[in-house]
């Protein structure tokens, strides 16, 4: 199963009813700074979070401060998401971090690593531009469950 999933409507979110749902509004996340502000607020990142890709990666691979063990990041208005960045490169960097973090959580062995196991799912409201980017960059994705 791919780490990225497209959901067309809120009714497609039913399988994630028991997840902590972090909603990222693409209209309000046209820049990386705006995205960092939203995800930090939605997932209650610690004060040490710095607005950068490395810090995002570190935070998504920790999540120790959250009580929930199932987390879904849901990005809506994907045509607008990071649209004010000069190129798709930054968006691809963010997508790579989200994909890698979701994949890494699949392989956490709680007993071996002493880290609570979690499930991280990345959901997107589909758009033509996002599908085209996923195809171009060879990101695997699933349609709604």
Query: pTM of the predicted model, to two decimals?
Result: 0.91
pLDDT given at position 95? 96
- How large a percentage of the chain has pLDDT more than 70? 92
CB atoms near residue 93 (< 10 Å): 16
Q: Domain limits at 59?
A: 4-142
Residue matched to tokens 């171009």? 136
Please give the residue that has the higher pLDDT: either 63 or 115. 63
CATH code of the domain containing 52: 3.30.370.10
Number of domains in the chain: 1
The string of DSSP letters for 43-56 reads TT--TT--SSHHHH
Cα dihedral 136→142→120→89 (10° resolution) = 10
Least confident of 26-40, 81-95, 98-112, 120-134: 98-112
Q: Each residue of 99-143: pLDDT tens digit?
A: 999 999 888 665 555 666 789 999 999 999 999 999 999 999 987
């Amino acid at each position: 199963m791919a780490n990225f999933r497209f959901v067309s409507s809120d009714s497609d979110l039913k399988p994630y009813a028991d997840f902590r749902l972090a909603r990222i509004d693409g209209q309000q996340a046209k820049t990386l700074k705006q995205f960092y502000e939203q995800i930090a607020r939605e997932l209650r990142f610690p004060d040490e979070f710095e607005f950068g890709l490395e810090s995002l990666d570190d935070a998504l691979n920790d999540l120790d401060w959250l009580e929930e063990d199932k987390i879904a990041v849901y990005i809506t208005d994907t045509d607008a998401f990071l649209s004010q960045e000069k190129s798709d490169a930054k968006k691809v960097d963010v997508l790579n971090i989200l994909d890698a973090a979701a994949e890494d959580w699949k392989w956490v062995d709680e007993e071996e690593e002493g880290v609570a196991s979690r499930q991280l799912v990345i959901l997107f409201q589909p758009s033509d531009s996002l599908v085209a980017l996923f195809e171009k960059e060879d990101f695997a994705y699933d349609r709604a469950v």
